[in-house]
């Protein structure tokens, strides 16, 4: 049979008794494909390469990552190497997803964080990010807040990108787990500072945010969200990705919300 399709009202009805039982509990949301239709990490990365905005400081590390993926690139321009990586991902699909997600976090090496943020905002504006929100999911987020629930986002996209992408939703940095690059004297370095919230590591990142709060619901759109969905009392899947749909069948607490 699979997980049943439900409405926003149905999800609220499932959560209301849990809210009474666990006041101050938490709702946890994936970002890309869950809060909005698109992938903000890819949106911003592609804008930077198209505008040739990647810093020369990251060229060598990007070339090394490309060769790890079997992409033959000459040492040289950061943006050309990045575009070759984008093409590789489009051809290879999700098989190299984690490594490519990681490099999108540290690919802004050489930028000061304060210098990067307005460029990220410009990239999101050019990509019409605000028009791509799932209104039902945002409605559920705001409903949860109105009842005093904590709201968190756990995403593998870069932290600065997710912070800017969720700014209109009122998310604070302390309510977000995302890809964190190493930063030295305010300047981004070409490496991660901690494991990427990807797949099972999303549970670790989510637990760090929640602390002692009850994990009431998770919203996700991918097989990489399944472990995080399994942590919650209510697992809400969005979309038609095969790994997600088959995984939800194994979760007794799972429902599907039409995106």
Q: Please, what are the domains in the chain?
A: 5-38+132-257 (3.40.50.1000), 40-126 (no CATH)
Task: For 190-226, write each residue's pLDDT tens digit.
Answer: 999 999 999 999 999 999 999 999 999 999 999 999 9
Q: Which two tokens stand for residue 108?
A: 């802004």
Kindly report the pTM of this predicted structure.
0.95
* Whole-number Å distance between alpha carbons of 75 and 5: 50
Res 73 pLDDT > 60: yes
Residue 106 has pLDDT above 60, yes or no: yes
pLDDT at residue 85 tops 80: yes
pLDDT at 95: 57
For the ranges 1-5, 34-38, 121-125, 186-190, the lowest mean pLDDT is seen at: 1-5
pLDDT of the residue at 162? 98
Report CA dihedral (108, 91, 256, 228) to the nearest 10 degrees: -50
Where residue 152 falls (left for φ over 0; alpha for ψ -120 to 50; beta otherwise) is beta
> Counting Cβ atoms within 10 Å, is residue 245 exposed (0-12), middle (13-18) or buried (19+)?
middle
Q: What angle do CA 56, 58, 62 make, to 5 degrees?
A: 125
- Mark residue 70 as left, alpha or beta (left: phi above 0; alpha: psi -120 to 50; beta: remaining): left
Mean pLDDT of the chain: 94
Please give the share of the chain, as a percent, with pLDDT higher than 90: 85
């Amino acid at each position: 049979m699979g997980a049943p399709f439900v409405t926003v009202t149905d999800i609220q009805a499932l959560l209301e008794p849990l809210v009474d039982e666990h006041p101050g509990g938490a709702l946890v949301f994936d970002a890309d494909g869950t809060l909005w239709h698109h992938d903000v990490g890819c949106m911003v990365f592609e804008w930077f390469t198209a505008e040739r905005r990647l810093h020369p400081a990251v060229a060598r590390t990007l070339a090394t990552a490309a060769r790890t993926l079997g992409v033959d690139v000459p040492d040289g321009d950061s943006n050309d190497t990045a575009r070759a990586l984008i093409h590789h991902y489009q051809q290879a699909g999700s098989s190299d997803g984690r490594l490519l997600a990681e490099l999108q976090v540290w690919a802004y090496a050489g930028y000061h964080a304060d210098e990067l943020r307005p460029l990220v905002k410009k990239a999101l504006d050019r990509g019409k990010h605000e028009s791509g929100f799932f209104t039902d999911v945002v409605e559920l987020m705001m409903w949860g807040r109105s009842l005093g629930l904590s709201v968190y986002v756990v995403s593998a996209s870069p932290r600065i990108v997710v912070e800017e992408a969720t700014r209109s939703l009122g998310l604070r940095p302390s309510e977000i787990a995302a890809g964190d690059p190493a930063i030295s004297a305010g300047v981004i370095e070409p490496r991660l500072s901690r494991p990427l919230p990807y797949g099972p590591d999303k549970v670790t990142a989510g637990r760090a945010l929640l602390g002692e709060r009850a994990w009431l619901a998770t919203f996700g759109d991918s097989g990489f969200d399944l472990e995080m969905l399994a942590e919650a009392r209510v697992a809400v899947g969005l979309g038609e990705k095969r790994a997600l749909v088959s995984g939800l069948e194994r979760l007794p607490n799972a429902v599907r919300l039409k995106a």
